C-alpha cells in the first residue's frame, strides 16, 4: 500500500537563485523600461542571444584563467540525440559580451560597415558563493558598441559616450552617490610589456601568496591584480602600475576619453588596479560603485573596451566597448535608498511635530486595481464576469470575486487590492445597474451599468 498520508518534503528554489514576486517586479519593470528608453535615445537596438552557448565561446572569449571560466560556469556534456549530432560541451552564459560578439560575427554585422549599438537584458549564471547582491542566477542590463574600425568603433568618443550614457541612466533612475572608477589596461603590446614587468616583480614574492595567486603569477599575472585575497593585498598594492607601461597610442586614447568626460561634466576617479576579471579587455576599463545597499558587493556595473575579442573568436577586426549593469544590485540600491528616504521623512515629521508625512511618492509596489466586482450570489457570477470583460476591454484593471463569498470577505479582499468595489446583486443585474463604492471617500452610488467605466476613470 502506498503511504499517501505522509507529507512530502517541499522543494525549494536552488541555492543562489530566487523568485521575484509581484510586489517586486513593478520596480524591475520600471528600471528596464527606463533603460530601454535611455538606450533608444542613444541609438541602441535590442539583441537577444541564447542563454546557453558552446563552452568554447567563454573559454576563448572570457579566458580560461579567469575565476568565471575556471570555477564558476554551469557546464554540462550534452549528449548526441541522433547519429547526425555530436555530443558537445555547453554552458549557461556567465555574461553576454562573448555571445553578442559571436552573434556579430555569425550574422556578419560588420559587413554593413555601420557601428553596431546593441543592448540586452537577461539572466546570467555563475556558481559564486551566494550572499547579498551575489547570486548564481542574476540579471544584467548591458550594451555593446562595436564595428569595423572605419565605423569609428575605436574612437575615444565611443568610450566617453558610453560612460556619459551610464551617468545619465543612473541619474534618471535616481541612483545617488555613484562613483565612476576608471583605468586603461593598454593595448596588446602595452600589456605584453606590463606582463613581463609583473612577472619579474612577482617572482621573488609569489611563494608568499595564496595558491591561486601563485598559479596566476605564472599563467596570467594580470589576474593577480583583481585578487580579493586579504593576505595578499600588501604585495599586490606594491606591484608596478599599468599606467607606467602605456604606449603613446593608449595614453593618447585614454586622455581623449578623459577630456570628453570633463567636457560633459561626468566625474570619475582613476583606479590603477582596475583590470577587471575578464581577459578580453583592452585600453579603457571601468566600474560604477555605490555606497548604499550593497555592502562589500559594491560594483553595480562594469565594462570596458575589447578591441581584440572578435579576432579571438575567429571573426574580423571589430573594436568594441560595452558594459553590464548588475540589475539585482541596482534594485537593492534603489530599495535601500528608498528605505533611507522614508526613515528620514518620518524622523523629520517627528522632529517638527507635524503629522505623519505623505510618503506615497516613495512607495514602489503593486498599483491598486480600478475595481473589484463582488457578485452577491452565485447566480450573479456570469453577469459579474461579463461586466469584468466589458470594463477590461475599456482598459480598466479589474478583479472578480465569487457569489459564494460573504459580503464582509468581499469587502476585505476588495479593500486590499482595489480602489473601488462594484456590488452586483439580483436587483442590479435585473435593472442593468451596479452599486459602486469608492474606498478613499466612502462614497457609495447606484448607477447605470454603462456609467461605471466613466466613474472608475474619474
Interacting stretch for ligand HAM, rule CB under 6 A, among 50-58, 129-137, 207-215, 368-376? 129-137
Which residue from 113, 114, 89, 118 is spatially nearest to 101, judged by alpha carbons? 118
Interacting stretch for ligand HAM, rule CB under 6 A, among 126-134, 153-161, 373-381, 414-422? 126-134
Angle in degrees, CA 187, 95, 190, rounded to 5: 10
Residue pair 161/327 in contact (Cβ under 8 Å)? The answer is no
Other beta carbons less than 10 A from residue 83's beta carbon: 6
Strands (E), 197-342: 269-270, 282-289, 299-305, 320-326
Site for ligand HAM in 97-116 (CB under 6 A): 97
Residue nearer to ligand HAM on the CB measure, 324 or 456? 324
Residue nearer to ligand HAM on the CB measure, 24 or 453? 24
Q: Which of 44, 58, 135, 286 binds ligand HAM (CB under 6 A)?
A: 135
Which residue from 302, 38, 28, 322 is spatially nearest to 172, judged by alpha carbons? 38
* Alpha-carbon Rg for the chain in angstroms: 28
What grid cell was written down for 76?
Answer: 554540462
216 binds ligand HAM (CB under 6 A): no
Q: How many residues does the chain have?
A: 458
Residue nearer to ligand HAM on the CB measure, 53 or 428? 53
Least Cβ distance, residue 304 to ligand HAM (angstroms) = 6
Strands (E), 105-246: 116-125, 137-146, 179-184
Q: How far apart are CA 90 and CA 420, in angstroms?
A: 52
Interface mask (CB under 6 A) for ligand HAM, residues 361-390, using x and -?
------------------------------
Residue reference for cell 561626468: 266
Which residue from 195, 34, 231, 214 is spatially nearest to 119, judged by alpha carbons? 34
Contacts of 457 (CB under 8 A, 6+ apart): 370, 396
44 binds ligand HAM (CB under 6 A): no
Interacting stretch for ligand HAM, rule CB under 6 A, among 230-238, 300-308, 419-427, 436-444? 300-308
Least Cβ distance, residue 66 to ligand HAM (angstroms) = 9
Other beta carbons less than 10 A from residue 172's beta carbon: 12
Q: Which of 326, 375, 403, 425 binds ligand HAM (CB under 6 A)?
A: 326
Interacting stretch for ligand HAM, rule CB under 6 A, among 238-246, 319-327, 372-380, 449-457? 319-327
Residue nearer to ligand HAM on the CB measure, 95 or 428? 95
95 binds ligand HAM (CB under 6 A): yes
Site for ligand HAM in 137-166 (CB under 6 A): 138, 140, 142, 144
Least Cβ distance, residue 425 to ligand HAM (angstroms) = 53
Q: How far apart are the first and last CA of the chain?
A: 63
Interacting stretch for ligand HAM, rule CB under 6 A, among 30-38, 192-200, 294-302, 311-319? 294-302
Q: Which of 322, 375, 401, 403 binds ligand HAM (CB under 6 A)?
A: 322
Helix, strand or coil for residue 437?
strand
Q: How far apart are CA 334 and CA 176, in angstroms?
A: 9
Least Cβ distance, residue 309 to ligand HAM (angstroms) = 9
Least Cβ distance, residue 324 to ligand HAM (angstroms) = 4
Which residue from 260, 266, 281 is spatially nearest to 179, judged by alpha carbons? 266
300 binds ligand HAM (CB under 6 A): yes
Helix, strand or coil for residue 373?
strand
293 binds ligand HAM (CB under 6 A): no
Q: How far apart are CA 31 and CA 300, in angstroms?
A: 14
Q: Which of 67, 328, 370, 428 binds ligand HAM (CB under 6 A)?
A: 328
Interacting stretch for ligand HAM, rule CB under 6 A, among 73-81, 197-205, 293-301, 407-415? 293-301
Angle in degrees, CA 96, 24, 22, rounded to 5: 110
Least Cβ distance, residue 327 to ligand HAM (angstroms) = 8
Sequential DSSP letters for 79-129: --SSTTS--EEEEE-S-SHHHHHHHHHHTTGGGG-SPEEEEEEEEEE----
Least Cβ distance, residue 395 to ligand HAM (angstroms) = 37
Size of the site for ligand HAM (CB under 6 A): 26
126 binds ligand HAM (CB under 6 A): yes
Least Cβ distance, residue 166 to ligand HAM (angstroms) = 11
Least Cβ distance, residue 22 to ligand HAM (angstroms) = 22
Positions touching ligand HAM (CB under 6 A) are 95, 97, 126, 128, 133-135, 138, 140, 142, 144, 277-278, 299-304, 306, 322-324, 326, 328-329
Amino acid at each position: 500500500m502506498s503511504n499517501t498520508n505522509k507529507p512530502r518534503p517541499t522543494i525549494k528554489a536552488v541555492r543562489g537563485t530566487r523568485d521575484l514576486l509581484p510586489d517586486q517586479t513593478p520596480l524591475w519593470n520600471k528600471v528596464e523600461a527606463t533603460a530601454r528608453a535611455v538606450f533608444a535615445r542613444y541609438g541602441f537596438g535590442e539583441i537577444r542571444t541564447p542563454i546557453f552557448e558552446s563552452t568554447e565561446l567563454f573559454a576563448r572569449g572570457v579566458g580560461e584563467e579567469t575565476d568565471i571560466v575556471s570555477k564558476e560556469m554551469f557546464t554540462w556534456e550534452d549528449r548526441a540525440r541522433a547519429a547526425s549530432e555530436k555530443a558537445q560541451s555547453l554552458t549557461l552564459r556567465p555574461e553576454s559580451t562573448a555571445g553578442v560578439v559571436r552573434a556579430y560575427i555569425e550574422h556578419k554585422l560588420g559587413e554593413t560597415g555601420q557601428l553596431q549599438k546593441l543592448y540586452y537584458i537577461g539572466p546570467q549564471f555563475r556558481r559564486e558563493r551566494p550572499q547579498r547582491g551575489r547570486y548564481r542566477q542574476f540579471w544584467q542590463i548591458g550594451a555593446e558598441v562595436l564595428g569595423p574600425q572605419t565605423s569609428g568603433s575605436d574612437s575615444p568618443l565611443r568610450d566617453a559616450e558610453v560612460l556619459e550614457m551610464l551617468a545619465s541612466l543612473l541619474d534618471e533612475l535616481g541612483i545617488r552617490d555613484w562613483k565612476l572608477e576608471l583605468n586603461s589596461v593598454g593595448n596588446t603590446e602595452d600589456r605584453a610589456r606590463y606582463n613581463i614587468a609583473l612577472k619579474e616583480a612577482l617572482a621573488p614574492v609569489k611563494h608568499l601568496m595564496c595558491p591561486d595567486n601563485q598559479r596566476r603569477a605564472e599563467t596570467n599575472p594580470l589576474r593577480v591584480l583583481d585578487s580579493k585575497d586579504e593576505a595578499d593585498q600588501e604585495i599586490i598594492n606594491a606591484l608596478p602600475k599599468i599606467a607606467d607601461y602605456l604606449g603613446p597610442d593608449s595614453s593618447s586614447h585614454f586622455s581623449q576619453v578623459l577630456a570628453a568626460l570633463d567636457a560633459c561634466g561626468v566625474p570619475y576617479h582613476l583606479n590603477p588596479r582596475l583590470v577587471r576579471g575578464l581577459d578580453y579587455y583592452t585600453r579603457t576599463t571601468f566600474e560604477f560603485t555605490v555606497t548604499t545597499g550593497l555592502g562589500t558587493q559594491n560594483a553595480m556595473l562594469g565594462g570596458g573596451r575589447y578591441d581584440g575579442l572578435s579576432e579571438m573568436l575567429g571573426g574580423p577586426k571589430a573594436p568594441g566597448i560595452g558594459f553590464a549593469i548588475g540589475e539585482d544590485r541596482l534594485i537593492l540600491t534603489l530599495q535601500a535608498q528608498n528605505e533611507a528616504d522614508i526613515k528620514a521623512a518620518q524622523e523629520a515629521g517627528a522632529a517638527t511635530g507635524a503629522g505623519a508625512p505623505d510618503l506615497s511618492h516613495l512607495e514602489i509596489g503593486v498599483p491598486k486595481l480600478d475595481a473589484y466586482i463582488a457578485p452577491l450570489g452565485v447566480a450573479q457570477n456570469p453577469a459579474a464576469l461579463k461586466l469584468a470583460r466589458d470594463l477590461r476591454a475599456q482598459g480598466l484593471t479589474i478583479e472578480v470575486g465569487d457569489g459564494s463569498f460573504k459580503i464582509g470577505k468581499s469587502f476585505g479582499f476588495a479593500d486590499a487590492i482595489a480602489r473601488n468595489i462594484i456590488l452586483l446583486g439580483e436587483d442590479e443585474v435585473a435593472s442593468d445597474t451596479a452599486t459602486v463604492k469608492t474606498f478613499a471617500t466612502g462614497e457609495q452610488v447606484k448607477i447605470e451599468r454603462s456609467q461605471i467605466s466613466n466613474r472608475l476613470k474619474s
